[in-house]
Chain A
Amino acid sequence: MKKMLSKVIMVMMLGAISVSAMGKTLVTSFGQSADAAMLNVLFKKSKADYEFNALAMPDSIGAYDSIAVAAGASSKGMGAAGINPIDELKRAEKLVKMAKEKNIPVVTFHLGGAGRRGKLSDDYVKVAAENSTKMVVVKGGNADGLFTNIAKTNSSELVEVKNIVGAITPIKNTFN
């Protein structure tokens, strides 16, 4: 009971903190799909203070006050980035672990529809989403309720948007 309560308080504190009140956001990718480039453009248009590094390593995140993750896999994207799926998953897992240790909040973005979910992508999606205080999801990508269930289990916030452009408002609200 005590453990549960402290978990809830921690989540509430992390969620309540205005992420950008602390400064710079790291925008990165888990899975190297084209969604990372989209998230980069979204952040640019929202005029948030951020840096984009699709392959950010865990030991580099100390420079940031928050992390935004574009979650979704592309085997071609990983090939182009010169990273194999196993190492990419390890990078993702280590990054969220480091974020937790440093109390850096993580916000997951899933910008693809139902067609962009699948076994390969979901491995990265789950690592990001289950370690996030907030998730911004284009509606079609939550058709099976994955993000809803994660939000319920982890008491994290879920924002569903109609389309990719719709993600600008939650970015402004969260990071500006």
Chain B
Amino acid sequence: MGKTARYKRVAGLFLIFFGIIVTKPAFSTDFPERAARGSNGMVAAAKEEASQIGIDILKQGGNAVDAAVAVGFALGVLEPNASGIGGGGFMLIRIAETGEYKFIDYRETAASSATADMYLNEKGEVAKHDASVGGKSIAVPGTVAGYLKVLEDYGTMGRETVLAPAIKYAEEGVEVSGVLAEIIQKKYDVILRNEASSKIYLSDDFPLMEGDLLVNKDLAKTMRAIAKGGRDAFYKGDLAKKIAKAVQADRGLITEKDIASYEVKMREPVKGSYRGYDIVSASPSSSGGTHVIELLNIMENFDLEKTGFGSAESWHLWSEAMKLAYSDRGKFMGDTDFVKVPLNGLLSKDYANARAKMIKKNESMDGIVYGDPMNYESGSTTHFSVVDKEGNMVAVTQTINHFFGSGVTVPGTGILLNDEMADFTLTPGGINSIEGGKRPLSSMSPTLILKGEEPYATLGTPGGKRIIGTVALLISNLIDYNMDIQEAIEAPRINQYEKGSLTMEGRIPEKVQKELESMGHDVVVKKDYDLYFGGAQGVVIDNGQLHGGADPRRDGKAIGY
């Protein structure tokens, strides 16, 4: 063989070898501008301005907790429909130095006088509307208590510093995005019924439009008071009095005593594994982490790499596994301070293996008997993830429940109050029925993933009960299909409750939809990128490099440095 021919052969072999090494499955991103790379710090949040605030805090020398608290307060101003100091949430932290996990439950609590039958009329029918709009829907907010506790225990900066960006935005105004304008319109009647809310979110009784400035000077004043006076500034004194007055003026039950006695709970997160990766996530009063792990445990019984991403077979398996996980949620889950939950069983591989055996290869099973009687499922809420240069990881999911919560703003304070009571079972006798002081069941699943003690990812999403399925799908996208975080977030999603239709995004090919229908699934197709399936954010750590991803289904944007 001549020299030239030899060279050509070697070059050809090299090209083939290189092609095999670098070729990935053909995933792509439609929104690469939402992703980011960095090596010193990364913040992925539902608003670019919030991510920037987090990065600025990190650059100023703050750690991931400082950044998370600053981002959290800011999101209540930048994305007021989805979270804020009138709401609650969950934060999961991994401290790099010690490897310890801290799980902070700052979920809202029912008023002490709340009862299991408080939403039943004389005929015994449930007045669902009262549980999601107005004073009676409001639970005692936990966000301020939660943030100030983690700041004190694990942060390095003072209240004034971390609150300053949020105060500035509230004072100077936030430009209304297309997403926010649409949500204001959708919740117009909820906002319109409350004078204080109308003053902020409407202009001359009409919805604020894209490009308008949303100003909330009262909220700026409130946050200055919190910066100065700490927890007591919110939970006691003048603000607490005003909150109680506003709630009671609209038929709600919360008293000043309820507010003063609010407690943040420090809990053990739930832990599991998926194909060699450790999964750490939210424990009750969130059902989320437990059922994300259960769902992954079930799916671990199937070779998803073989069935392939996006195939009818894969979606069918996910759908059936979701039915099983959601049915368990409805039957077994509640606030563990009030009810006994079989956590170990739900998290066990053996239990999941037994559940997996119920799944038929080509046939959709009928809805499982155990169901969640809640009819209102809020796709609202927000999630953000932070990683700092030390490797501290934070995942936060927080909410005021439905977009714009109860619709009640406390006059003179700018505080928009939650409608978290809607997350209870509204009839007596259930594991998630109402009791005074109880936390309503959540599905929020701020999640951390590690590979053999090494941090791998922090992620989460809003989306009501669908959070569970979405987080599990994201984890599978990363681990089973080796997607990068932005691809994983953008990839099409499905949801299947314990019974009812299999909903999916429009990008799933019609051929696959038809195959699923032939298996007995009742397929409902939504938009190509549908808010219904959440707004995920996440950060992956890959050989010291930070990859941030954010969801185009909301206004998400990751920023790194």
Q: Chain B, 187-204, contact with A by CB distance < 8 Å: what is the 0/1 string? A: 111101000000000000
A80/B205 in contact, CB under 8 A: no
A80/B206 in contact, CB under 8 A: no
Chain B nearest CB from A71 CB (Å) reads 14
B182/A113 in contact, CB under 8 A: yes
- Check: A37 CB closer than 8 A to any chain B CB: yes
Chain A nearest CB from B198 CB (Å) reads 10
Q: Chain B, 517-534, contact with A by CB distance < 8 Å: what is the 0/1 string? A: 000000000010000000
Which residues of the partner chain B approach A41 to less than 8 Å between Cβ atoms?
A: 192, 205-206
Chain B nearest CB from A94 CB (Å) reads 24
The docked-state distance in angstroms from the alpha carbon of A77 to that of B132 is: 12
Which residues of the partner chain A approach B375 to less than 8 Å between Cβ atoms?
A: 79
Chain B nearest CB from A34 CB (Å) reads 4
- Check: B207 CB closer than 8 A to any chain A CB: yes
B376/A38 in contact, CB under 8 A: no
Chain B nearest CB from A78 CB (Å) reads 11
Closest to B376 in A: A76
- Check: A45 CB closer than 8 A to any chain B CB: yes
Q: Within the complex, which residue of A45, A76, A77, A164 is in contact with B207, where a contact is CB–CB below 8 Å? A: A164
Q: Chain A, 27-44, contact with B by CB distance < 8 Å: what is the 0/1 string? A: 000000111111001000
The docked-state distance in angstroms from the alpha carbon of A18 to that of B207 is: 29
B376/A79 in contact, CB under 8 A: yes
The docked-state distance in angstroms from the alpha carbon of A168 to that of B182 is: 20
- Check: A116 CB closer than 8 A to any chain B CB: yes
- Check: B451 CB closer than 8 A to any chain A CB: no
Q: Within the complex, which residue of B188, B205, B206 is in contact with A34, where a contact is CB–CB below 8 Å? A: B188
Closest to B133 in A: A80
- Check: B128 CB closer than 8 A to any chain A CB: yes
Which residues of the partner chain B approach A12 to less than 8 Å between Cβ atoms?
A: none
Closest to B192 in A: A37
- Check: B209 CB closer than 8 A to any chain A CB: yes
The docked-state distance in angstroms from the alpha carbon of A76 to that of B402 is: 11
Contact A37:B188 (CB < 8 A) given known A79-B128, A164-B206: yes
A34/B186 in contact, CB under 8 A: yes
Q: Chain A, 91-128, contact with B by CB distance < 8 Å: what is the 0/1 string? A: 00000000000000000000111011010000000000
Closest to A77 in B: B189
Q: Within the complex, which residue of B129, B206, B527 is in contact with A38, where a contact is CB–CB below 8 Å? A: B206
Can you add 8 more A-B contacts, CB < 8 Å, to A41-B205, A115-B182?
A33-B186, A34-B187, A34-B190, A38-B206, A76-B132, A111-B185, A116-B182, A118-B527
B interface list, Cβ under 8 A from A: 128-129, 132-133, 182, 185-190, 192, 205-207, 209, 375-376, 527
- List 10 contacting pairs A-B, 8 Å CB cutoff, sorted by A: A33-B186, A34-B186, A34-B190, A38-B185, A38-B188, A41-B192, A41-B206, A45-B205, A80-B129, A112-B185
